[in-house]
Every structure is written in structure tokens, then in C-alpha cells.
Structure 1
Amino acid sequence: MERDFVHQIVGVALLVRLLAITVALFGMVGEAITGPMLACVLVLSATSFSFLVYPSVARFVVHHPLAVVGDLLLTLTVVAALGVESPLVLATFSTALIMGLLFERRVAVLGAVAMVAGYLLIDVLQESAAGGFMITLGIPALYVALVAIGAVVRQAYERETVAARALVSAHKAVASADERARLAREMHDSLGKTLHGIAMAAEALPVWVDRDPARAVEYANRLAEASNQAAAEARTLLVRMRADEPDRPLAQVLAERCHQWAADTGVRCDFTTQGVVDLPTGVRYEVLAIVAEALENVSRHAHASRVAVHLTDEEGEVVVVVEDDGAGFVPEPDGRSPRHHFGLTGMRERAEQAGARLTVTSGPGRGTRVALAVSPVEVAPGVR
């Protein structure tokens, strides 16, 4: 089991022991405190406090569960010293619970048998006058029940851990499938078309070499340009694949993106986030691409001194805002890119692909604000 969980549950069990000691002492008000009783109270309290107060002791017990065997011997010693009728027997119940929590089933069963056998042997040797069901059978039955409860808690936690790990593996598998589908879509939309054009031009080149050498040179130049374009598109795809790591939180990826952009451009970029859940892999890819395009527009055209990127959760939607204090511009009425520019058009197409709402607000001398709102639970029609 996880060490932190073990530490917590053993700590709770020992707190219960201290509470049991306190209750027992209140129950013995008016009775004489004997030397053995005082010694038992001090030893039980000291062992519990040492685990709770000193991390080194706690680490030793967690890493060496056989230390519980020493606690078992201490428990039987307390019972032998004070008798099975002493209220301080209540403080020994935590040992049974800890055995069930820390040991696998067979070892826990052996511990329960040893604890019950030791208790019954002490009861027989002391020939308790009170007897009764609780003394003779009740306390041993409680020991067994507490060991069983500890074992059930241990098994439940282990099953939960296995299920959690399986869920993480499933999420990773889904993320990998989404990543492959997204990469295939990107390659089809950009790199695939470029390579298809190169193939067609290469097929026509031998014909023009014989028929029209000048035209063949023109085709060769086009092939060279298209090859460079294909290489650039491949590099862009690889950069985007490395920039968006689906296993990492969106906020962390965005923060690093902003930090890297500020380092590359020398423009201050402040990133803030508040109460945000993550997005499906395909959607967050488009969101990151839109943010990257917005930052690219700032570095090319805005002449800004400061950029702020906000990631927030507003009324169940993930909202990403990129705003700068740059020169600004006059947006086109239809929201498309200004003439001879294509950045805003691409951003709107990506927003539609992700099922998001894109709002661009700007004006000469007033900077630019790009706001993107998307639901974390909806998957856009074009996103898989």
C-alpha cells in the first residue's frame, strides 16, 4: 500500500489508542494508581506519541511493519500486568486494527490468532474472578473483528488503487488515440496535400525535360519550393506535438508556452489561471494552436510591451483570453483577417473545429483582446 496512506491510518489508530487510555483513566477515577498501571499508561502513551510526533519513528514503522510484532508483545504485556478486567485493555484494540491494515491476509490471521491465544492464556492463568461473556469471549471476538476490519480496509484500498491506475492507463490510451487521429487529420489537411502536389509535379517533370527545358526548370523550382514547404509543415507538426502533452494539465502547458514566448520575443507575458478543468485532447490542441497564433500576431504586428494570458472557468466554460497593450487594428465586419493576412481566419476555423466561441476586440491604439470560450464536456463535431 501507499506509504502516506499507511502513515495516516496507523496515526488514526494510535489516536484512538490515546483516546481509549483517556477514557480508561476517567473510568478509574477514585481507584489507586499502581506502579504497573502507571508504567503501562506511560509506555502505551509514549509509543503512540513517538509515532505521531517524530517522523523518523513513523517512517521506521511504515517501512518495517514487523515493528507491529513488538506492539503485539507490548499489548499482551499490558494485559498480563493489569489483568483482563482492567479498563486499559481498551487501549490494546488499536493493535488488532493496525495488524489487519499493515499485513496481508495470512499474516494478519496469524497475528489475530497469536493475540487471541495470548489473551486467553493470560485469562486462564490469572483465573479472573469476574469472568463473564465480555471478558472471556467478547474481547477476543473484538480482536478478531478489528483485524478483519483492518484487512477489509486494506483490500478496499488496494482495489481502489488498482482501479485508479487502470483508469489512468485508459485515459492515456484514449489520449494516444486522440493524438494519432489529430496527427492524421493535420497531415491530411496540410502535409498530405503538399506531398500530393510534389508527386504530381515530379511525374510531369520528365515530360517537360524533353518537350520544353525552360518549363522543366520552372517545374523543378516549384518542386524545390514545395519540398521546403513540406519540410516546414513537418517541423510545425512536430513542434505542436511536443508543445501539447495530453498527460499534462492544460494550465501547465499554457504557462510554459507563455514563458517560452516571452523569452523568445523579449515581451513580458503574464499568465494567470483560476478554477479550470481540462479539455478533451483534440479540443485543447485547437485551443493551444489559437493561443499560439494570437501570440504570433502580437509579436509580428502589435508592437506591445506587455501581454496577459488568462485561463479561467466561467459558468462551466473554459475561457482563454490573450490581450496586449499594442497598436491594435480595425477588425473586419465579418470577423475575418484583414486583407493579405490569414491569422484570424485560421483562428476562427480552429475555433469552429473545437466547438468554441472566438471573440476578437481591438481598435487603433487600444490593443487587442482575443477571447475563446469552450465547454469542457462538449466535443465539437469535427473533434475526435
Structure 2
Amino acid sequence: MSAVQGALRPGSGVAPDFTRQIVSVALLVRLGAIMVALLGMVGETMTAPVLACVLAMSTSSLACLLSAGTMDFVVRHPLAVVGDVLVNLAVVAVLGVESPMVLSTFPTALVLGVLFPRRTSVTTVVVLVAGYLLVAREDPDAERSFMVGLGVPALYLCLTAVGSAIRRAHELQMEAGRELALIREVAVAADERARLAREMHDSLGKTLHGIALGAQALPLWVERDPAAAVQHAHGLAAGAQQASDEARALLVRMRADQPDRPFAEVLHDECARWQESTGVACRVECAAVVDLPTSIRYELLAILGEALENVRRHAGASQVRVTFSGAPGGVVLLSVQDDGRGFAPRADGSSPRGHFGLTGMHERAREIGAGVRVESAPGRGTRVLVRHPIEEDDHDPA
């Protein structure tokens, strides 16, 4: 029995939801065919065999349509469909090949093509055709017409072929979807590598280069001026600590974004971590209906992190409000507003002397084609607003 089930099991290339939809449509068509058959028998006596066949076909169809458990059983156990083929042959044998109820057997041929691989579906439909022809041959009342001899068997074969074509098209669609997902993963990985290289070059690389130059000069200072050498050694230690801090910050930023999660969730988590580490209340409001490409997400999170770091270091705020909104074909807005001491921004938006946070935010915004506006005044808090235009095809599917 297990060997038979293995041979008849629907292929893994067809999604269960798709199979359920096709089977449901086929059963609805069967119920419609039964109604047409009953209309065709108006004026005739409703005999017990006819009533039994109508009830058997209708009950089995309604049971699958109305019960999800029954439908799942049919989809997962192909022998149920083979049993349905036998029921169809029994209906044809009891009522004859010229009965209008033969119409209700056609959807089964379509289901065979959709559920099973080509070899199995062909074998099963050949059994259906052979059984039908055997009944037609043994039926003394059957007329030797084209429909009885060739038309109905040909329809069985054609419907199975149509089902196989639907199955194959669905398999190709799923394969294309998997390939597209793989291409996206490769693109995301390449983007991550490029972003990591840029980050290391812009921050960590420069710091390490400075440490290397200082280390090369240190032996000369030791020989010429030991006191100055000590100062340079302290400078190298400070540079090494800075490199360590930059590497740690880089890893934190790289891990902050998780492209498989909605950006709004990542935003909430990032602000929650900042609130926990600083003790400053941080309220997040998201009204965006799109997600963003990985590169844009990363830079926005980096700008958010820089803005929150500025609040922690300089604002003396008691509350921060982060808002994120956007729509396809419009703009994405990210706002970070605090109620801290504020300051007088420079006209060009650059950072005050000795600070580089605002400059870094502007540089990151330019990388993704966004704009940054800083609104602040002494005693009135600060608002950092990032505006990024987004096209219809710029968002990642959810």
C-alpha cells in the first residue's frame, strides 16, 4: 500500500494552497454539472439508482467544499482521488454512458492532471477511459454515436492534459519565484559587502592607517626623544581604542537591520534598546505602508543612530519622539525630535567645531539621494528630518 501511495503522491512542485483551489473549482463545476444533468432529466422518473448516484456525487463534493479537513485529506492522500475515479465509473455503469450525469465525471479528469505527475495522471485517466469504453461496449441501449465512442473519452484526455499544463505552469512559476528570491539574496549579500567595505574605508580604515603610521614612527621617537615617544605611545593607545569603538559601532549598525523583518519593527527595536540604555523616554510612531531596499534601510538606521547619539551626548532631553511615514510614489520621512536644550544650527548644516555627527548624517543621506534638515534653537529642542523620495518599485515586498 505504501508503494502505491508513493507512486500516486502529488509532486512537491505544487503548492498545497494551489491544489486546494483547483480541487475546489473542479468540485464546484461538478455540482453545476449535476444541476445541469437534473435539468436534462426533467420529466423522467427519478429512479433509486439515479437518486443514489446524484446523492453520492453531490455529498462527496459538498463534504470537500464545506470541510477543510476533508479537503486536506483529499489533497494529501491521492488514493482518495483514485477512489473518486472508481465512483465515476460506477455512476457511468449504473446510469449508462448516455446519461446526463456523465457530465459530472469530467472535472475528475482535470483534477488528475493537476494533482499528479504526468506519468501517473496519464495512467489513471487511461483507466478512466478504458472503464468508460468497457461500459459503453457492454451497454445494449447505448447508441454508437461519435460522442459515446470518441467524444467523451477524448474530453477525458483533453481535460487531463489541461490539468497537466496548469500544473506545469504553476511549477514554473514557483521555480521562477525561488530563483528570484535567490537573486535577491545574492544582491542583498553583495550590497552588504559593499556597504561594509565603504564603512571600513570611511572610518575604521582611516583610523587603522593612522595607527600604522604612528607605530612606524614610534621607534624613531624612542631613539630621539623618549618623553615624546611616551606621548606618541599614549596617542597610539587612544587610536587603538578609537578603532575598537568604531569596529564595535560598525558591527552594531550591521546587526541592527534585519532585512527579513519590516523596517517599522526594526525601528521600534532600535529605539527600545536606546531607551533602555539611556533611560530617556523614546516614543515611536510609524505610519509607513511600504518597506525599503536594504541600502536605504541601513543608511536611515545609521542616521537614526547618529541622531539618538547626539541626543544622548548633548541634548539633555527628557523625551524623544521618532516618527516614520511614507507611501509608494511619494516620500519617506524619518523624524527624530527631542525636548532638550537645543542649539543654533549652522547655515550649511555642518557640525559645530569638534563634532562630526551632523556632517556624517548629511553624508549618509547623500549616499541614498535623501535630504536632511536640522531644526533647532537654544532652549527649544532639536528636530532632525530625513526626506527620501521613493518610487513605486523601490520598496521590498513584504
Specify if TM > 0.5: yes
Report the more deviating stretch, 171-180 or 81-90.
Answer: 81-90
Question: Residue in 1 aligned with 2:223?
Answer: 210
Whole-angstrom CA distance in 2 between matches of 1:42 and 1:20? 13
2-side partners of 1:361 and 1:291: how far apart?
A: 15
Q: Comparing 268-277 with 212-221, which one deviates more in the overlay? A: 268-277
Inter-CA distance 28–371: structure 2 relative to 1 (3 Å threshold): farther
Q: Quote the Cα distance in structure 2 between the aligned partners of 1:317 and 1:183.
A: 27
User: How far off is 1:252 after superposition?
Assistant: 3.5
Mapping of residues 1-384 of structure 1, within 5 Å: 1-266=14-279, 267-279=281-293, 281-300=294-313, 301=315, 303-313=317-327, 315-363=329-377, 367-376=381-390
Equivalent residue pairs, number = 378
Structure 1 residues 129 and 378: alpha-carbon distance in aligned structure 2, compared to 1, 3 A threshold = closer
Deviating more after overlay: 200-209 vs 217-226:
200-209
Percent of pairs with identical residues: 54
- DSSP-derived class of the 2:327 partner: strand
Q: In structure 2, list runs of 5 or more residues that go unmatched.
A: 1-13, 394-398
1:60 to partner: Cα distance: 1.7
What is the distance in 1 between the residues matched to 2:144 and 2:383? 82
**Could you tell me which residue of structure 2 aligns to residue 382 of structure 1?**
none
Q: Deviations over 1:71-97 (max 9, x none)?
A: 111111111111111111111111111
Structure 1, gaps ≥5 residues long: 380-384
Q: Is the 8 A contact 2:289 2:326 kept in 1?
A: yes
* Shift of residue 107, structure 1, vs aligned partner: 0.4
Which amino acid is the alignment partner of residue 321 of structure 2?
Answer: V
TM-score by length of 2: 0.88
Q: Which moved more, 1:334-343 or 1:220-229?
A: 334-343
Aligned partners of 1:329 and 1:217: how far apart in 2? 39
Contact 2:63/2:70, CA 8 A, preserved across alignment = yes
Alpha-carbon shift at residue 39 of structure 1 (Å): 1.3
Aligned residue for 1:273, secondary structure, equals strand
Would the alpha carbon gap of residues 152 and 325 (structure 1) be closer, same or farther in structure 2, given more than 3 Å must change?
farther
The CA deviation at 1:218 is 0.9
Contact 1:360–1:371 (CA under 8 A) maintained in structure 2: yes
Partners of 1:18 and 1:326 in 2: CA distance = 71
Distance 1:89 1:367, change over 3 A: farther
Q: Are the counterparts in 2 of residues 317 and 373 from structure 1 also a CA contact under 8 Å?
A: yes
Evaluate the alpha carbon distance shift between residue 361 and residue 135 of structure 1 in structure 2; reply closer, same or farther with a 3 A threshold: farther
1: CA distance between counterparts of 2:346 and 2:186?
Answer: 42
Q: CA RMSD in A?
A: 2.2
* Counterpart-to-counterpart distance in 2, 1:94 and 1:43: 15
**What is the alpha-carbon distance in structure 1 between the residues aligned to residue 105 and residue 18 of structure 2?**
22
CA distance in 1, matches of 2:338, 2:348: 22
Q: Is the 8 A contact 2:329 2:392 kept in 1?
A: no
Is the alpha carbon distance of 1:107 and 1:236 closer, same or farther for their aligned partners in structure 2, counting shifts above 3 Å? Answer: same
Task: Answer whether contact 2:208 2:243 (CA < 8 A) is retained.
Answer: yes
**Shift in alpha-carbon separation, 1:346–1:21, aligned structure 2, 3 A:** same
- Deviation per CA, 1:83-141: give whole Å up to 9, x if none: 11111111111111111001001001101111111111111111343442222211111
Aligned partner of residue 337 in structure 1, secondary structure:
coil
Which deviates further from its counterpart, 131-140 or 82-91? 131-140
The SS at the match of 1:232 is helix
Q: Which moved more, 1:259-268 or 1:91-100?
A: 259-268
Cα separation, 2, equivalents of 1:120 and 1:316? 64
Task: Report the Cα distance in structure 1 between the residues aligned to 2:385 and 2:49, rounded to whole angstroms.
Answer: 74
Assess, with a 3 A threshold, how the Cα gap between structure 1 residues 195 and 340 changes in structure 2: closer, same or farther.
closer
> Residue by residue, what CA displacement relative to the aligned partner does 1:251-281 show, whole Å, maximum 9, x if unpaired?
33223323333443441422313321422x3
